[in-house]
Amino acid sequence: GAGVSQSPSNKVTEKGKDVELRCDPISGHTALYWYRQSLGQGLEFLIYFQGNSAPDKSGLPSDRFSAERTGGSVSTLTIQRTQQEDSAVYLCASSLAVGGRNEQFFGPGTRLTVL
Amino acid sequence: AQSVTQLGSHVSVSEGALVLLRCNYSSSVPPYLFWYVQYPNQGLQLLLKYTSAATLVKGINGFEAEFKKSETSFHLTKPSAHMSDAAEYFCAVKRGQGAQKLVFGQGTRLTINP
């Protein structure tokens, strides 16, 4: 079966523009996560969705960042008024169920460059 | 708060030599521990995970890790390095059954010398 897919693979934008990053999780996975990987901060959690529960947004760095998950499947991470410090690789992951022992499967990431 | 420390941002070994990548965690409760590998321009792939079933965990590609509670460590080893092992390795922790977020170490870049 297909793994987690993300699009676009690369995105170059100008400072101040809005961007949307898409994640398609593995079919049947109820949990979906967004992480950010940057040189200065390493890998950091952004947001987590589980079924119909309210998402855990505790990792979002500012109110310019938002995410939604439609129909319990596809997710979109939106960054408004992008800044140069937003340049990073944005990774999406999904897992079959909740619980500490459940493995998260990662997509290839979207490399965002803000000029 | 839990955290993960990986000792050594870069490790270099010769092909055929032992690989040892160090990971220490701090957690107030028994954690779930993971090692992920990232090849260039790819996402993260799970190597192995500790979920309290056994302290010595075997993973893919010949890697294994031992959970040592007394040392709060979960070091990754492989007896004989292969050129294809060159990648970045991340140790990560989740605290407890209800925890969902992975907290990652800073990563260790492994270089294999021919």
More confident residue, A56 or A12: A12
pLDDT one-digit tens code per residue, B81-110: 999 999 999 999 986 556 678 999 999 999
Among A40-44, A74-78, B15-19, name the one with the lowest average pLDDT.
Answer: A40-44
The mean pLDDT value of chain B amounts to 90
Whole-number Å distance between alpha carbons of A80 and A33: 19
| Region of B61 on the Ramachandran plot (φ > 0 left; ψ -120 to 50 alpha; else beta) | left
pLDDT one-digit tens code per residue, B57-69: 999 999 999 999 8
Q: From the list B42, B46, B97, which residue is nearest A108 (CB)? A: B42
Strand partners, B5: B24
Helices (H) and strands (E) in chain A, counts: 0, 10
At B1, is the pLDDT very low, low, confident or very high (cuts 50, 70, 90)? Answer: low
pLDDT one-digit tens code per residue, A99-114: 767 889 999 999 999 9
Per-residue model confidence (pLDDT) at position B101:
85
Cβ burial of A53 (10 Å; 0-12, 13-18, 19+) is: exposed
CB A23 within 8 A of CB A75: yes
Q: Cα B88 from chain centroid?
A: 10
Strand partners, B45: B37
Contact B101 A91 (CB under 8 A): no
Per-residue model confidence (pLDDT) at position A74:
95
Nearest in space to B64 (alpha carbons), one of B106, B39, B33: B33
Q: Which residues of B touch A106 (CB under 8 A)?
A: 36, 43-45
The proportion of chain A whose per-residue pLDDT surpasses 70, expressed as a percent, equals 97
Per-residue model confidence (pLDDT) at position A86:
96
Residue A56, pLDDT > 70, answer: yes
pLDDT one-digit tens code per residue, A59-73: 999 999 999 998 879
Chain A contacts to B (CB-CB under 8 A): 4, 31, 33, 35, 42-45, 48, 50, 56, 59, 91, 93, 98-101, 103-109
Per-residue model confidence (pLDDT) at position A27:
92
Residue B3, pLDDT > 90, answer: no
Whole-number Å distance between alpha carbons of A100 and B101: 9
